C-alpha cells in the first residue's frame, strides 16, 4: 500500500486531487463533511478521472464523512474545500491531529493557514503540526458527474508557504513525489498576497450579474465574461494588491505574469492572456450569484487583502468598492464575518508587526 494521504473535500479540486494521487500509488482517504458528495463515488467504487482525453477508473482507500477517521494514519492532509469551511474542518480535525502531520490548504486564499492553526489551538489541540497553504489550486478542473472529474489543465508552478516560514521545506519535501510544481514562497504572507482568485472571481461575477440571472444557457466564465472593460477593472484591483505587497516588502507576481508562468498562454495584456488560455476555454459561469466566487472570495480573499492594505496605509478603493457592493447585494456584512483583522488576530498590529508574525509565528 502506498503513502496514506487524506484529502478533505469531494468537490471539483478534491476529487481531481484524490483521483490523481490514487493513480500515483497513494492510499487515499477522501473525506467530505456532507455525505451527498460521496454517495455516487461509493456506488461507483471510485472516481473516473479524465485527463488529456483519457478516462481511467481510480480506486480509493476510504470514503468517509468522519474527519478524524480520514486523518488518523495520514502523513499528509490536503484540504481542498472552499475557504469558508476551513474553520469547520479545523474544529473537526483538532482532536485527532498528531505531531508531525502536515496540513496543506489548497488553496489557503488569504490568511488560511493562520485561521486554521488558530482554530485548532482554540479547540485545545497542542500537536506539533505544520500548516501550509498554496497560492491557488494546482488544477483547472470540474467534477463532471456524480463519480467523474476532468482535469483541464495543471499549473506549471504554484507557490506554497508554511506557518511559520521555517517549516516550508518540510512540506515541499513531502509533496514533491506527487507535485513537483509546488515552489517555496517566502512565507504565508506571500501566498496570501498572491491570491489570484480575489482578482478573477468577485469582480467579473458582479459585472455579469444580469447575464447570470437572465441567461439560462449560461456563458463561458473567462472567455465571454471577462471582456476588455472587465479585464481593465480587474487590472486596477491587481494594481492595488501589488501596492499592498510592496508595502510589506513581499514580492508577488502581477496577474499577467502569473498567467504566463502558470499556463501556456500569450498576450500583451490581461485580457489577451485570458482569452488565449486554453485551460479556461470550457469553464462555465455559475448559474446563480449564490456562488463561491462571491460568497467565498469576498470575505475570505478580498476582505483580508483590504485589511492588510488598511494596516499598511495603502489605499484600496476598488477592493473596498467590490466588498461594499457584494455586501449590499447579499444583505450581509462580508467584512465583519470574513477574515478581517479581528478574526485573524492581527487587529492593532502595525505593518512591521504583521510582517514579523507571518515570518516567525510570534505575535
Report DSSP state, residue 300: I
Predicted structure pTM score: 0.81
The residue from 159, 193, 227 where one domain ends is: 193
Q: Are residues 81 and 104 in the same domain?
A: yes
Q: How would you classify the pairing of strands 27-31 and 130-134? A: unpaired
Q: Are residues 119 and 203 in the same domain?
A: no
- Check: CB of residue 153 under 8 Å from CB of residue 263: yes
Question: Out of 297, 310, 320, 331, which one is annotated catalytic?
Answer: 297
Look up residue 361 and give its three cell numbers: 509565528
- Has residue 31 been placed in a domain? yes
Angle (deg, nearest 10), helices 228-247 and 303-312: 50
The tally of CA atoms less than 13 A away on the side-chain side of residue 307 is: 28
Structure confidence at residue 1 (pLDDT): 61
Look up residue 213 and give its three cell numbers: 440571472
Distance of alpha carbon 238 from the chain centroid: 17
Q: What's the number of domains the chain is made of?
A: 2
- Has residue 359 been placed in a domain? no
32 in catalytic set: no
Look up residue 346 and give its three cell numbers: 492581527
- Has residue 363 been placed in a domain? no
201 in catalytic set: yes
Q: How would you classify the pairing of strands 54-58 and 47-51? A: antiparallel
Q: Are residues 213 and 128 in the same domain?
A: no
Q: For residue 185, give the H/E element and its range.
A: none
Q: Are residues 206 and 282 in the same domain?
A: yes
CATH classification of the domain holding 98 = 3.40.50.720
Q: For residue 320, give the H/E element and its range.
A: helix 317-330
Q: Are residues 163 and 272 in the same domain?
A: no
Q: Are residues 136 and 50 in the same domain?
A: yes
- Has residue 144 been placed in a domain? yes
Q: Are residues 220 and 89 in the same domain?
A: no
Structure confidence at residue 243 (pLDDT): 98
The neighbour count for residue 51, using CB atoms within 10 Å, is 19
Q: How would you classify the pairing of strands 62-64 and 27-31? A: parallel
Exposure string over 247-279, b if 16+ CB within 10 A, otherwise e = bbebebbbbbebbbebbebeeeebbbbbbbbeb
Structure confidence at residue 117 (pLDDT): 87
Q: Prior bond to 71 cis, omega within 30?
A: no
Give CA–CA dist 341/337, Å, rounded: 11
- Has residue 159 been placed in a domain? yes
Q: Are residues 264 and 234 in the same domain?
A: yes
- Check: CB of residue 158 under 8 Å from CB of residue 138: yes
- Has residue 361 been placed in a domain? no
Q: Are residues 163 and 203 in the same domain?
A: no
Find the DSSP H helices in 24-66.
Answer: 39-44
- Has residue 133 been placed in a domain? yes
Question: Out of 201, 215, 269, 320, which one is annotated catalytic?
Answer: 201
Provide the domain limits for residue 313: 197-346
Structure confidence at residue 277 (pLDDT): 96
> What SS3 state is found at 209?
helix
- Has residue 360 been placed in a domain? no
Structure confidence at residue 317 (pLDDT): 98
Q: Are residues 122 and 82 in the same domain?
A: yes
Q: Are residues 109 and 209 in the same domain?
A: no
The tally of CA atoms less than 13 A away on the side-chain side of residue 349 is: 21
Instruction: Kindly give the parts of the chain with pLDDT less than 50.
Output: none
Distance of alpha carbon 253 from the chain centroid: 17
Exposure string over 111-146, b if 16+ CB within 10 A, otherwise e = bbbbbbbbbbeeeebeeebbbbbbbbbbbbbbbeee
Query: Grid coordinates 491557488 are at which residue?
Result: 136
Q: Are residues 229 and 186 in the same domain?
A: no
Length of the chain: 363
R_g of the chain, CA atoms, integer Å: 19
Give CA–CA dist 343/363, Å, rounded: 14
Give CA–CA dist 250/191, Å, rounded: 10
Query: Grid coordinates 515570518 are at which residue?
Result: 359
Q: What are φ and ψ of residue 273, in 5° steps? A: -65, -40
CATH classification of the domain holding 216 = 1.10.1040.10
Angle (deg, nearest 10), helices 317-330 and 228-247: 120
Amino acid at each position: 500500500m502506498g503513502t496514506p494521504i487524506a484529502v478533505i473535500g469531494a468537490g471539483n479540486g478534491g476529487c481531481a486531487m484524490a483521483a490523481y494521487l490514487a493513480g500515483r500509488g497513494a492510499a487515499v482517504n477522501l473525506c467530505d463533511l456532507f455525505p451527498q458528495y460521496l454517495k455516487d463515488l461509493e456506488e461507483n467504487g471510485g472516481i473516473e478521472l479524465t485527463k488529456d482525453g483519457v478516462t481511467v477508473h481510480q480506486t480509493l482507500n476510504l470514503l468517509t464523512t468522519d474527519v478524524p477517521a480520514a486523518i488518523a494514519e495520514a502523513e499528509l492532509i490536503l484540504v481542498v474545500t472552499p475557504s469558508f469551511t476551513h474553520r469547520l474542518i479545523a474544529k473537526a480535525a483538532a482532536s485527532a491531529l498528531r505531531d508531525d502531520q502536515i496540513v496543506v490548504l489548497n488553496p489557503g486564499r488569504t490568511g488560511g493557514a493562520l485561521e486554521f492553526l488558530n482554530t485548532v489551538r482554540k479547540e485545545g489541540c497542542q500537536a506539533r503540526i505544520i500548516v501550509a497553504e498554496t497560492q491557488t489550486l494546482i488544477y483547472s478542473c470540474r467534477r463532471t458527474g456524480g463519480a467523474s472529474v476532468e482535469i483541464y489543465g495543471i499549473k506549471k508552478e504554484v507557490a506554497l508557504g508554511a506557518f511559520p516560514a521555517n517549516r516550508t521545506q518540510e512540506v515541499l519535501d513531502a509533496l514533491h513525489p506527487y507535485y513537483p510544481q509546488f515552489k517555496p514562497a517566502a512565507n504565508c504572507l506571500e501566498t496570501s498576497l498572491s491570491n489570484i482568485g480575489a482578482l478573477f472571481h468577485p469582480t467579473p461575477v458582479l459585472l455579469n450579474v444580469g447575464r447570470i440571472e437572465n441567461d439560462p444557457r449560461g456563458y463561458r466564465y473567462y472567455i465571454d465574461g471577462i471582456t476588455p472593460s472587465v479585464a481593465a477593472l480587474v487590472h486596477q484591483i491587481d494594481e492595488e494588491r501589488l501596492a499592498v505587497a510592496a508595502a510589506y516588502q513581499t514580492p508577488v507576481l502581477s496577474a499577467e505574469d502569473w498567467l504566463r508562468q502558470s499556463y501556456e498562454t500569450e498576450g500583451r495584456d490581461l485580457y489577451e492572456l485570458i482569452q488565449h488560455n486554453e485551460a479556461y476555454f470550457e469553464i462555465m459561469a455559475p448559474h446563480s450569484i449564490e456562488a463561491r466566487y462571491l460568497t467565498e472570495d469576498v470575505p475570505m480573499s478580498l476582505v483580508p487583502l483590504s485589511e492588510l492594505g488598511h494596516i499598511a496605509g495603502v489605499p484600496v478603493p476598488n477592493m473596498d468598492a467590490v466588498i461594499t457592493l457584494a455586501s449590499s447585494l447579499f444583505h450581509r456584512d462580508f467584512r465583519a464575518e470574513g477574515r478581517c483583522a479581528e478574526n485573524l488576530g492581527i487587529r492593532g498590529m502595525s505593518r512591521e508587526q504583521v510582517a514579523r508574525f507571518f515570518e516567525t509565528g510570534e505575535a
